[in-house]
Structure 1
């Protein structure tokens, strides 16, 4: 059986496509302090890759006396305000790789736990037609680390997970993508991804091309096919 060819690349947004994690941290700290609490950098790192509802509940535990929805709306508004002031802070190489994938005719999807209105703001600020589909945090019933967001993106694109590559920067994001059946590249930023299970760890996207992603997908799927064949022989 031939290995499936790469049909789509699915991107996480915060920390993977764009370096917005400092924006979220800059929104969290004053909110907590306004209720008399304190917030450390280590605590902020614990929210990286979490769904916003889960993050809001943690902030409530840190003393924020607001509803979950109100916290999510407040943080989203603050990050969107910062984006409006600074533009899209692409991670090194991300814009170039995304544009290269589009030029190669490979479908692309954005799979983020941020609210759709924020995801759409980022997409609208990109100066080319970047994505075929956007799946946001308020589009899914179960957030990352469940596989649902990636499975939903695959369904919307008309592809199967084994035809996709996912690019992620957080442990929860990796777990979601891996559970979906995609081939997964981890590109660490704020937190270590060692031992989470990414099929490849790239230090940066800078200098990476669509050909690199295609080659990674083919190699990973070939390894899986070989491992399956060996298991069949062992039986």
Structure 2
């Protein structure tokens, strides 16, 4: 893994920037067909044991399956599971795609599921999901019928200029938007990732919520394009993200996850 180089303009903050370094797993999308139910994917058919009900909102309307991560296929990431499947769903029938501004951890308009063991016997899996999701109003970020496999890579990442803690690392950026832009140009922040630091098109939802300051990035799913067509599109080219307490992540407890998306 290459370590990002710090531009000369930020040398005086180099030690503080280096102290924020985290491992992150980036992933790229590749259009795919005939993926196994248990494979990592964006869109398509999720992994669900036959006894597991497909997730719905409080009105009984099926949520849209976003993606799943099979940790046996990813590089090892500190604090994350080494096995099992983690899945993300949102309410594509809702104009805000399931986002609850007042309580972003309430899993009505979204759902995060984790299965700590993976059964590859399809007779024990729910394969009749297409009939369920045919009732989904596809206003979500993934267009109907699209499916992508995931290509993972382990990288190092410094804090992004969008993280609410950034101005404490580099106080000089306060209201200095040119300097923030230069920093963000120097270090990668867009794209899809597990762990690491997020970016936003608006503001960090944790900034004005002290009870969320102990949540770190779990997963970021960015807007993306394939063959000049939308593959994933959050509103006007925005980004979606989920956050979790590190202690909850170690325990594989995904009941208190923050869901957020924003766009320009």
TM-score by length of 1: 0.27
Structure ranking higher in strand proportion: 2
TM-score by length of 2: 0.25
Structure ranking higher in helix proportion: 1
